[in-house]
Amino acid sequence: MPTAIDPPKNRVWWRDPVDKVEITWIVLALIWCLIMFFMMPYWHVYGKQNLSNEAYRSTPELFSQKTQAMVDKYTVRTETDQKIPVVRPPAGSDVYLIARLWQWWPLLELEAGKSYRLHLMSMDWLHGFSLQPENINIQVHPGYEHVLTVTPTKEGTYSIVCNEYCGINHHTMTSKLYVVK
């Protein structure tokens, strides 16, 4: 019985007939590959957690200016001793969220059923925007502004967790997102 490490007996081994079992597995594997391949575009459109996003080059200065302008205009209250602003921007508007060591800033309060353009950017290193329990997962890079169109459907308090290791306090980089009526 020849094994995989022996040289082939015939020089033109590829002309040997393929065993039925082998061809069956090749066909099955091919069909499965094709299913997986077409699932990618299909799931991008019909799997609701895969957000299409746009990305633009930007700078921390520019992005924090835009965030600050939103905070100045639409802050409704502050939370914790750190006085983190809770911002309630108008429905349909552009909303900004800064990721930085080791904080998400500010807190956003969005209206259920309304769409927003959510802009994300890191001020320093790579962070990850993970929205729980919604299974939304976006890498947040320094130097790039990611824009997602989001429509929160259910009211509640959602958790934002950083899911890219970003240093000693990575595990404390958590926040909240409010969705209200």
113, 153 in Cβ contact below 8 A?
yes
- 141 lies in the site for ligand CUA, by CB under 6 A: no
Of the candidate residues 166, 175, 177, 179, the single one contacting ligand CUA (CB under 6 A)? 166
Which of 50, 60, 164, 178 is in the footprint of ligand CUA by CB under 6 A? 164
Residue 160 sits in the site that holds ligand CUA (CB under 6 A) = no
Check binding of 173 to ligand CUA (CB under 6 A). Answer: yes
Count of CB atoms situated within 10 Å of the CB of 89: 21
Residue from the set 97, 127, 152, 175 that interacts with ligand CUA by CB under 6 A = 127
Q: Is residue 161 within 8 Å of residue 138, measured between CB atoms?
A: no
142 near 64, Cβ under 8 Å? no
What is the number of other CB atoms lying within 10 angstroms of the CB of residue 95?
Answer: 21
Residue type, 169: N
Rounded to 5°, the CA angle 35-134-71 comes to 130
**Count of residues interacting with ligand CUA (CB under 6 A):** 8
- Residue 120 lies near ligand CUA (rule: CB under 6 A): no
Residues that bind ligand CUA (CB under 6 A): 102, 127, 162, 164-166, 170, 173
